[in-house]
Structure 1
Amino acid sequence: MDLKSVFQPRTLCVIGVSQYNPLSPGTVIYQKNLHEMEVEVFGVNPRGGTLDGREIYKSISDVPKDIDLAVICVHAEAVNEVLEECGEVGVKGVVVVSGGFAEIGGEGIERQNQLVKIAKKYDMVVIGPNCVGVYSPPYVDTFFLPSERLVTPPPGNVAVISQSGGILVDQFFSKYTERKIGVSVAVSTGNKAIVDENVLLEYFKNDPRTKLIAVYLEGFREKEGTLFLRRAMECFERKKPVLVFMAGKSDYGKQATASHTGSVMAAYNVASAAFRQWGVIEAEDEYEVITFSKVLSFNLPSIKNGNIAVLTISGGHGVLCADLCVQYGLKLVEFTEEEQEEMRMLLNPSAAPIASLKNPIDLTGSLTDSDVEKVAEYLMRNEKVEATILLMLPYPPTISMQLGRRTANIVRKYRKPVVAYVPWVQKYQMIVEGFELNGVPVAHTVEEAVQMIKALKLKGEAEMRINRSLG
């Protein structure tokens, strides 16, 4: 199935624009693409007229150019008639925003079955129904949310697939933006009548813009789950991990998914076990999916055993981090007296007598940038340490705003993952950017930093399982 018409269309037709309601879904989509995207856009309304000084056509058959992508924003009862017309004029891709299909049961199921027949008759790629559609900058944006309301993340390498439009724009877009996680493409699949996660995984597997695929799942149709596992493993083999966040784990959650997108979720423990077996990385909650997305988008090396070093400025933060490492299944490396003394010899005269060189390593408030650089490099060279967490509180006057850049430039020479915690306030953005622009992801909290290392351990476990399965 060729999805280029959906993700990189040259021409777009929005069916259901309004001259009189600037906040109608069709009008919002039309104006966003007219002013913000590269696609050439046309509007359709049976009454015709003009919008923003441009002609509104009475039918898609009146549009003077071939259309790559059509967005249908009409009442559910009229969707299939419009879809048929799209097929007749050779439209390649369609996003059906309208609800009122399988998610409502009864006549909605029949309506969706008819939609599938029409799409297959004309070999059209259909996203939805009951969705917000596609965000694929700089080409197209079919989300019917006004730009002043929608927070969009920066360009990046994460493709997002979500059955829920609300989850996509809130849990992913808003939180990705807060944490500077970049997106290549985002898709709301809704009822996934034609295009489901498996079709999208096949596309993103070969998409040069995408290095990580994050998926919000509410359920699978019959046989869909098995194919999903195969597709996910194929993506992993291409060095593109698939990260899944599942909903519908409880009985009440399953009932809610049925009425939301018409999906059916298998027993959670069965699905979760299958994910582990096939190399899918699973986030347990809405917080982990964001943190995992962040660290995996940096393409850091995985770890196998979870042997961690913690380098901190604050003893209290070190204690907190140690507890969290145990909670998340990680192990603090034990340094010998000799190793501790070797690290002490690297410190400035003020910090050396009072620093605690056990693990967590507390350099105290008497440290300097140079102390952090030297001890971090020592940890990179220590074979017992698989990954390092840096808890960098930039309060002591002996620390400069160049701490992030200087430390990151040291550790980037080694193929060992490093993550950092720095308070996310504006005055410390130079330190944050110094780390991140040089390949060290920065967490919002100490717990997020630990979650990042957990994600790298899960990635390592996935690699081992896939390598074993390939013989």
Structure 2
Amino acid sequence: MLRDGGTAHLRPIRPDDAERLVAFYDRVSDQSKYFRFFTPYPRLSERDVHRFTHVDYDDRVALIALIGEEMIGVVRYDRLPPTKEGERSKTAEVAFLVRDDHQGRGLGSVLLEHIAAAARERGIQRFVAEVLPANRRMIAVFEDAGYRQQREFEDGVVHLEFDLEPTETSVAVMRAREHRAEARSIERLLTPRSVAVIGASRSPHTIGQTLLRNLVQAGFTGRLYAVHPQADEILGVPAYRSVRDIPDPVDLAVIAVPAEAVEQVVAECAAKGVHGLVVVSSGFAETGPEGRRRQVRLVELARANGMRVVGPNSFGIANTDPAVALNATLSPIMPNRGRAGFFSQSGALGIAILAETVRRGLGLSTWVSAGNRADVSGNDLLQYWEDDAATDVVLLYLESIGNPRKFMRLARRVSRRKPVVAVKSGRHTQGVPIGHAAQPVSIPDPAVDDLFRQAGIIRVATIDELFDTAQLLAYQPLPRGDRVAIVGNSDSLGLLAKDACVSAGLRPRDPVDLGPTSTADDFRPALAKLLADPEVDAVITVFIPPLTSPNEEVARALAELAADADKPVLTTFLAYEGLPAQLRRLDAGGVPARGSVPSYPAPENAVRALAHAVRYVQWRDRPAGRLPELAGIAEDRARGLVRNLLAAHPGGVELDQERKEELLACYGIKLWPVVPVRDVESAVAAARELGYPVVLKATAEGMRHRSDLGFVQLDLADEDELRRAYATLEQLLGGDVSAARPVVQRMAAPGVATVIGTVEDPAFGPIVSFGVGGVATELLGDRAYRILPLTDVDAAELIRSVKAAPLLFGHRGAEPVDVAALEEVVLRISRLADDLPEVAELELDPVLVARHGCAVLGARIRLSPPPARVLDEGPRALRSPR
């Protein structure tokens, strides 16, 4: 993705690129050639062309950038000779050249990122570059990359040298550029100066005419064109046989032709120089293998020619800004202007969602329906809405997540500035809709809840709940805390509101009941007093049809007082839903503005929305956390151990005790040794070796950790106690102990048993989980989850978020345990899981947390061939449509 929102295709140079290289060089200015070679160099010789196109992809690597079939840039490195004989140099000289008409698009920085990654993979640790002082653009590319560098000036040339190891600065620079480019690509889609509807029809009730009619009726402010094989005009809009015949530039093409014709249309759009595509046509990946191949070709062709794609199978896009007035959707209902951006993966819900926004009076800034989400995704919209001044709240309807790690990173960043509210379907199925190029989610849905919460996303269960929450966040101030006041003319509704607050974890006051005959003169001072009270963070008003007072007077009092309040006001005003006209505060354009009072059909709905807002503020106010430096990590040794084990067991292997101890030790975790025993005498011998007191326990499935059934005998102080414990185990098992797989282990200090685990999810990547040990915890599913990498704050919250967490902090007068030591184990396990995708499953059970320190008494680790992780690191690249 380039700085201006366009795209380019990067790949290694090939010998058959000779003619393409010559044509590229012919279109480079003499000045750019001079900057590259430090001398006039009008053309490339045959020898030059052969040398530049024939590289070994090791000591010499070259990457080229293309738009369509035209080469627009090239970068290369050449490994320098070694300083010592017999050694391989770790330094290379780098240089790049960008066609003049594509300079200033950020192509140089993208080329540098990718050539640096290729060099690191080949053992090169630093680049050197020679640049003429007048070549300020190239110097800026190197200096702005964020790498540690040295700069010297000698003999009229600037000598730059920089390490290739990514730094915090270089990663930040890369992500800032990614953010600007992806945001700009969406801006180009949503603010076109001209739109062509390809497949526009003269027949009513067709998709093509519906799209064109909706654009016309919305009053699109740009130039509008229709593409039809015979018509000269449709609905008063000029029509042309092909998009290439349109005499003016076309920014956005809305495509509504049969699926088999889309590829040809996209090729014509590429030739025309169209910036973006909205493909409403169906018949792609949702129809099967051939449709998926058609979808891949669509996206690859569009991207190779600088275009982004919304869809296919999209419901369309909309922008309510009066300066644009874009309704390129299948809905005749244009949403009102508002402060919420909405991204939906469901076309089927499109009309219902847009109609609901109008019914509630909840305006939208922009709307995008992604359909099959083959290219433009929720991640792109998060990049755009983060800085969009017209959007205060982000609303998402998600059916799948293509790159969950990137989604979580972006959502966490956006949520620091704006609330993100999401409905994620598949709560019980965790499937991926047909047509979506995304991995299924294997983790339980409570884990998805935890991961969204970790990123600050407000996850809601239904579209109605999403709108309930949005109308509060978009029009009212955020609450400072969880202290709620309730006032109204119904004692029963007030009590319902209080009960709902308690259930939602809020702290309500006793309701103020003004009585069924109360008037606006009663509401006004009561509400004003609560809004002025520093001990109140939010106010809920309940108002049922009165016996005496006109509704309008009470509504006016509520609206006037809420308009300038610095705390949220919610109401159940006559059971209206949305922003009733009587409670709206309008801006100069007649659009509901901040200060409008949201209304709910029942107090429970209002409380639920308020609770979401309170939890969001609590998340936003917490420290962001940091990735801690952990001493004693031997990552290379761990990788070697895992590599060797999988070489011996290609299909995967569950580690034995010795290998578990070795792998965990690489991450500074001591696994307490256990000694398998076959009879009482071997048990006694093991105890002598380990030292008393010891534990005798069964490790077979169904018997592990079951001290309540006698399969774990604790704190055996001497040989006599051990022999009696062994006899008890024999009695429980009818004399045959071997099936129980008994072991002896040294007794740890008393404490709280906990369980730490990781699993490699195909969609989210490595996930860490935590719970307090025990059968009751397992039955209740009291586990908490987080996505990696884990900050110190994440680790602390993970441990504290389970319901049984009070057991760690001195519940009922018990001694508090060393939670800090437990947090360190969690962080070390998280680092292991992040480093080693081959670790398919890991569980430490139990981790016994004592007053000082903790002991890892048991572990299970399974390795398997590493899955293809959807990464969120390395040089910038668009997600593959395949």
Number of residue pairs matched by the alignment: 432
Distance in 2 of aligned mates of 1:451 and 1:112: 41
Distance in 2 of aligned mates of 1:34 and 1:312: 46
Per the alignment, residue 616 of structure 2 pairs with: 459
Distance in 2 of aligned mates of 1:34 and 1:408: 36
8 Å CA contact retained: 2:341, 2:367: yes
Distance in 1 of aligned mates of 2:329 and 2:191: 15
Residue 191 of structure 2 corresponds to residue 191 of structure 1 = no
Paired amino acid for 1:167:
L
Measured after TM superposition, the shift of residue 26 of structure 1 is 1.1
Q: Deviations over 1:125-153 (max 9, x none)?
A: 211111112011343222124x2xxx333
Per the alignment, residue 350 of structure 2 pairs with: 168
Q: Secondary structure at the match of 1:31?
A: helix
Q: Aligned pair in 2 of structure 1 residues 458, 104: CA closer, same or farther (>3 Å)?
A: farther
Per the alignment, residue 410 of structure 2 pairs with: 231
Q: Greater shift after overlay, 6-15 or 434-443?
A: 434-443
Q: Secondary structure at the match of 2:208?
A: helix
Q: Secondary structure at the match of 1:117?
A: helix
**Structural mapping, 1:18-37, within 5 Å:** 18-19=201-202, 21-36=203-218, 37=220
Per the alignment, residue 524 of structure 2 pairs with: 373
Q: Secondary structure at the match of 1:9?
A: coil
Per the alignment, residue 464 of structure 2 pairs with: 287
**Structural mapping, 1:129-278, within 5 Å:** 129-137=312-320, 138=322, 139=324, 140-145=326-331, 147=332, 151-170=333-352, 172-221=353-402, 224-237=403-416, 239-251=417-429, 254=431, 257-259=432-434, 261=436, 263-266=438-441, 267=443, 268-278=445-455
Distance in 2 of aligned mates of 1:35 and 1:410: 38
8 Å CA contact retained: 1:242, 1:281: yes
RMSD value, Cα: 2.5
| Identical counterparts, % of pairs | 28
Distance in 2 of aligned mates of 1:332 and 1:425: 23
Give the greater-gyration-radius structure (CA).
Answer: 2
Structure 1: segments with no counterpart, 5+ residues: 334-358
**Structural mapping, 1:57-96, within 5 Å:** 57-96=240-279
Measured after TM superposition, the shift of residue 78 of structure 1 is 1.2
Q: Secondary structure at the match of 1:71?
A: strand
Measured after TM superposition, the shift of residue 270 of structure 1 is 2.5
Distance in 2 of aligned mates of 1:177 and 1:58: 37
Per the alignment, residue 567 of structure 2 pairs with: 416
Q: Deviations over 1:231-273 (max 9, x none)?
A: 1222223x3211111101122x62xx42264554423322221
Q: Greater shift after overlay, 181-190 or 319-328?
A: 319-328
Distance in 2 of aligned mates of 1:72 and 1:59: 12
Per the alignment, residue 327 of structure 1 pairs with: 503
Measured after TM superposition, the shift of residue 156 of structure 1 is 0.6
Residue 299 of structure 2 corresponds to residue 116 of structure 1 = yes
Distance in 1 of aligned mates of 2:191 and 2:226: 18
Measured after TM superposition, the shift of residue 54 of structure 1 is 4.9
Q: Greater shift after overlay, 400-409 or 428-437?
A: 428-437
Q: Aligned pair in 2 of structure 1 residues 400, 216: CA closer, same or farther (>3 Å)?
A: closer
Q: Greater shift after overlay, 42-51 or 428-437?
A: 428-437
User: Which is bigger in relative contact order (C-alpha 8 A, separation at least 6)?
Assistant: 1
Q: Deviations over 1:32-83 (max 9, x none)?
A: 2234322321111233444235542111111111100001111111111111
8 Å CA contact retained: 1:278, 1:465: no
Paired amino acid for 1:23:
H
Q: Greater shift after overlay, 401-410 or 71-80?
A: 401-410
Distance in 2 of aligned mates of 1:66 and 1:258: 36
Measured after TM superposition, the shift of residue 230 of structure 1 is 1.6
Q: Secondary structure at the match of 1:13?
A: strand
Measured after TM superposition, the shift of residue 385 of structure 1 is 2.5
Q: Secondary structure at the match of 2:433?
A: helix
Distance in 2 of aligned mates of 1:425 and 1:3: 36
Q: Aligned pair in 2 of structure 1 residues 117, 370: CA closer, same or farther (>3 Å)?
A: same
Per the alignment, residue 336 of structure 1 pairs with: none
Q: Deviations over 1:366-401 (max 9, x none)?
A: 323232222222223434322111002241314562
Q: Greater shift after overlay, 315-324 or 48-57?
A: 48-57
8 Å CA contact retained: 1:303, 1:459: no
Paired amino acid for 2:410:
R
Q: Aligned pair in 2 of structure 1 residues 200, 411: CA closer, same or farther (>3 Å)?
A: closer
8 Å CA contact retained: 1:403, 1:431: no
**Structural mapping, 1:310-325, within 5 Å:** 310-325=486-501
8 Å CA contact retained: 2:257, 2:281: yes
Q: Aligned pair in 2 of structure 1 residues 219, 203: CA closer, same or farther (>3 Å)?
A: same
Q: Deviations over 1:268-300 (max 9, x none)?
A: 322221110111111122321110111011141
Paired amino acid for 1:245:
V
Q: Secondary structure at the match of 1:397?
A: coil
Q: Aligned pair in 2 of structure 1 residues 260, 123: CA closer, same or farther (>3 Å)?
A: closer
Distance in 1 of aligned mates of 2:533 and 2:492: 25
Per the alignment, residue 168 of structure 2 pairs with: none
Distance in 1 of aligned mates of 2:624 and 2:215: 44
Q: Aligned pair in 2 of structure 1 residues 368, 34: CA closer, same or farther (>3 Å)?
A: closer
Structure (1/2) with the larger strand percentage: 2
Measured after TM superposition, the shift of residue 196 of structure 1 is 0.8
8 Å CA contact retained: 1:153, 1:180: no
Query: Among 423, 440, 460, which residue is 2:597 paired with?
Result: 440
8 Å CA contact retained: 2:476, 2:568: no
Q: Deviations over 1:16-40 (max 9, x none)?
A: 1223x22211111122223432232
Distance in 1 of aligned mates of 2:285 and 2:312: 9
Structure 2: segments with no counterpart, 5+ residues: 6-184, 587-591, 627-790, 794-882
Distance in 2 of aligned mates of 1:46 and 1:465: 60
Measured after TM superposition, the shift of residue 155 of structure 1 is 0.6
Paired amino acid for 2:478:
P
8 Å CA contact retained: 1:421, 1:444: yes
Distance in 1 of aligned mates of 2:585 and 2:274: 47
Q: Aligned pair in 2 of structure 1 residues 400, 27: CA closer, same or farther (>3 Å)?
A: closer
TM-score by length of 2: 0.46
Residue 225 of structure 2 corresponds to residue 45 of structure 1 = no
Distance in 1 of aligned mates of 2:568 and 2:318: 31
Paired amino acid for 2:516:
G
8 Å CA contact retained: 1:96, 1:129: yes
Paired amino acid for 1:6:
L
Distance in 2 of aligned mates of 1:429 and 1:439: 9
